[in-house]
Amino acid sequence: MTGTGEEVMFWILGPLSVLGALGLVFAKKAVHAALGMALTMIILGIFYIAQDADFLGVIQIFVYTGAVIMLFLFVVMLVGVDSSDSLVETLTGQRWATAVLSLGLGGILGAQIGRASLDDAVGLDAVNAQTGNVSGVAELIFGRYVWVFEITSALLITAALGAMVLAHRERLGKGPNQKEWSKRRFQEGEHLAGLPAPGVYARHNAVDTPALLPDGTPSELSVSRVLTARDQNLAPEEYTAGERTIERDVQEGGER
Amino acid sequence: MSIIAALPEVVSLVAEGTDNPRADFSDTPLWLTVVKALIVFVYLLVSTLLVIWFERRVIGRMQQRPGPNRNGPFGLLQTLADGMKAMLKEDVRPKAADAFVFTLAPIITASMAFVAFAIMPMAGEVSMFGHTTPFQLTDTPVAVLLVLAVAGVGIYGVVLAGWSSGSTYPLMGGLRSSAQMISYEIAMGLSLVAVFLYAGSMSTSQIVSAQSDLWFVVPAFFSFFVYVITMVGETNRLPFDLAEGEGELTGGFHTEYGSMRFAMFFLGEYINMFTVSALATTMFLGGYQAPPGLASVFGGALNEGWWGLLWFTAKLWMFMFVFVWLRGSLPRVRYDQFMRFGWKFLIPATLAWVVLVAFFRAGQNGWLGGTWDVAGRSFPVVSLVLVGVIAVLALVGGWMWDTRTERKEAAAHPEIPDEIDPYAGGHPVPPMPGQRLREPSLTAPALPSAPDTEEAPRG
């Protein structure tokens, strides 16, 4: 049986958790999506606690919100601002297939859940009063299911080690030193004197001002990729436009 | 196979003890809980106001200057004045900031800081408005884990503040401090496991009552050592305040913050200090129990009721003084050294310590063989064997380390001969300090004779 307090809490937090889940799907910024997921995870943890599973609820918040989604956030924050989601369909007909499949899955789930008949909830009161929440879980994990638990953890550790081994790139030879770099640069024959420095030949010497090439065009190579992606580069137009006005005035004056 | 056969027995032993909290809230109506929540809130706010003044005064004393002494008696109202100033300042938000998250971050930090204090037992059973109630807001079988979980959510404030500022230094500061807090939370959680093993519960009230004979700082001394280090790392305080290293990152994650939003970060940081100190008090120093010696005078009267609040506060402020003392005396460490220390020393060492404590506990419970009577007291054989093994290992390790350092020392400083032939290599070399010069040997290549060409006359 659900008490009044629990019901009130459910009707406040339930919609909020759905909102978080929808935010994960529809948010434009990746960080907002991760935040939506964190909200849903916290509310799930609170639901567990409300149903007397204190240990599970706290661990849910501790592990998922505190560790897993924090790692998501890390990655999302560190991904460069200039990498954006590609909206091109790589597999033809992928969207339609996804729509059909998710509709089907939703239909099956809805039909099954609608048909299910639930008995009265047993609750954890009796178990909590007898052995306690943590000891009860410990008894199951380290007693009845000890081998399942140990094998699963061994599997997870193997997976983590495997991921590290696969992602780790061992350097086979020694890295090129400065001399070899310069030799390679001359063999390739491009940018023999290094990339153009920002602000050179322009009217400004800041890093966000692209260098002007001898023909007057700004050089993309001279400024940081990130600044270009953020649209934070200064355009040299305001300076070249001013120069052109002066040139025109001079020309007009000469013709007069 | 004997281990497998022994498992059901172990399980039955585990099942005997229940871990439900000992604190009894049956005589606590809802309104009293609200009153207690208010008291905890005010206690924390007033403590924060006081501790900022305390910190500035103590550091001032350590640096031979007075510290704030103008506002109010002894400068006590200085923090209040600073708070009023923060409230009245202009609220600036950078143009590139993410408006919603920028405001959300300080709110998360400040509110999460208060939540963790709900499970701290600040005193035992007290009578309050005609009801007998334990002086703690709530207690659960997993109370200490709750503190760690809330701290984990609190880190979001720092990370999001760094990201939402839309600027480079805050982002780097936010990443740094969150990496630091997550890493040190692992070591912190592991160090607490030893206490759980000794107390047989994770509820704060049970842990405190389990320490009535012996504070856990004695049997779990290594855990205490690790906890005190991680608690400084966890709160981003000097010497571990790398997130706000002014020389590298200006202000770190709160570079772009000002006014009340900054004040909330400030408040959150100080309340976090109180939270970790309160947890240390509860886990290792007997919580609200009177110090040994005082506990038995007047028939244990000093160990009951409201006296607990005094002992709790005194122990709390002892830790606060340690925080200030560290800040006054230690320089900031380098970030990579700090992380290496956390991951390569603290975590493995604490892990080994927890395994060791588990063996000790199993020996105490009589699961691993019998006992041995020494000088009238009986010790489990396992514990004695383990202590012997560790002593031998420490001796062997120390000896090996010694010889290795000696060898390294010898390799780093090759022996200098007493005499030197300055022309041995064909090029004159000056002697090292303490060396004698030998006469030039006959086999040395002859010095080039004077140049043939005379200097052309000038002018």
Give the pLDDT confidence of A59-111 residue by residue, as tens digits: 888 888 888 888 888 887 776 554 555 556 677 788 889 999 999 999 999 99
Collapsed DSSP state (helix, strand, coil) of residue B66: coil
What are φ and ψ of residue A251, in 5° steps?
-65, -45
Residue A51 Cα to chain centre, angstroms: 32
Q: What is the DSSP letter of B213?
A: S
Per-residue pLDDT in tens (0 to 9) along chain B, 459 residues: 344 444 444 444 444 446 677 677 777 788 888 999 999 999 999 999 999 999 999 999 999 998 888 888 888 888 889 888 988 988 888 887 888 888 899 999 999 989 988 888 888 888 888 888 888 888 888 889 988 889 888 888 888 888 888 777 888 888 888 888 888 888 999 999 999 988 888 888 888 888 888 888 888 899 999 999 999 988 888 788 877 766 677 777 888 888 888 899 889 999 999 999 999 999 999 888 888 877 777 777 777 778 888 999 999 999 999 999 999 898 888 888 889 999 999 999 999 999 999 888 888 777 777 777 777 777 777 888 888 898 999 999 999 999 999 999 888 887 777 777 777 777 788 887 877 877 655 555 555 555 555 555 555
Instruction: Name residue B373's beta-bridge partners.
Output: B378
Among candidate residues A87, A83, A74, the one with its CA nearest the CA of residue A225: A83
Is B14 within 8 Å of A138 when comparing Cβ atoms? Answer: yes
Is B11 within 8 Å of A143 when comparing Cβ atoms? Answer: yes
Of A45, A70, A128, the CB nearest to B155: A70
Give pLDDT, residue B13: 44
Give pLDDT, residue A88: 63
Total Cβ atoms within 10 A of residue B308: 24
Pairs across A and B, CB distance < 8 A: 100
A32 touches chain B (CB under 8 A): yes
B5 touches chain A (CB under 8 A): no
Is B14 within 8 Å of A139 when comparing Cβ atoms? Answer: yes
- Mean pLDDT for each 10-residue chunk of chain A (256 residues)? 78 92 86 88 90 87 86 76 57 85 94 85 76 81 91 95 87 84 87 78 71 78 81 71 84 84
Instruction: Name residue B132's beta-bridge partners.
Output: B127
Q: Give me the torsion for CA of B126, B131, B133, B136, rounded to 10°.
A: -90
Collapsed DSSP state (helix, strand, coil) of residue A12: helix
- For residue B141, the distance in angstroms to the closest alpha carbon of chain A comes to 7
Give pLDDT, residue B27: 78
What are φ and ψ of residue B157, in 5° steps?
-55, -45
Which residue is it, tokens 């406040």?
Answer: A12
B113's enclosing H/E stretch is helix B99-115
A42 touches chain B (CB under 8 A): yes
A133 touches chain B (CB under 8 A): yes
Any idea what the Cα angle at residue B216 is, between residues B210 and B217, rounded to 5°? Answer: 160
CA–CA separation, A244 and B177 (whole Å): 51
**Residues of chain B found within 8 Å of residue A132, distances taken between Cβ atoms:** 18-20, 141
A141 touches chain B (CB under 8 A): no
Give pLDDT, residue A105: 95
Give pLDDT, residue B4: 44
**Residues of chain A found within 8 Å of residue B20, distances taken between Cβ atoms:** 128-129, 132-133
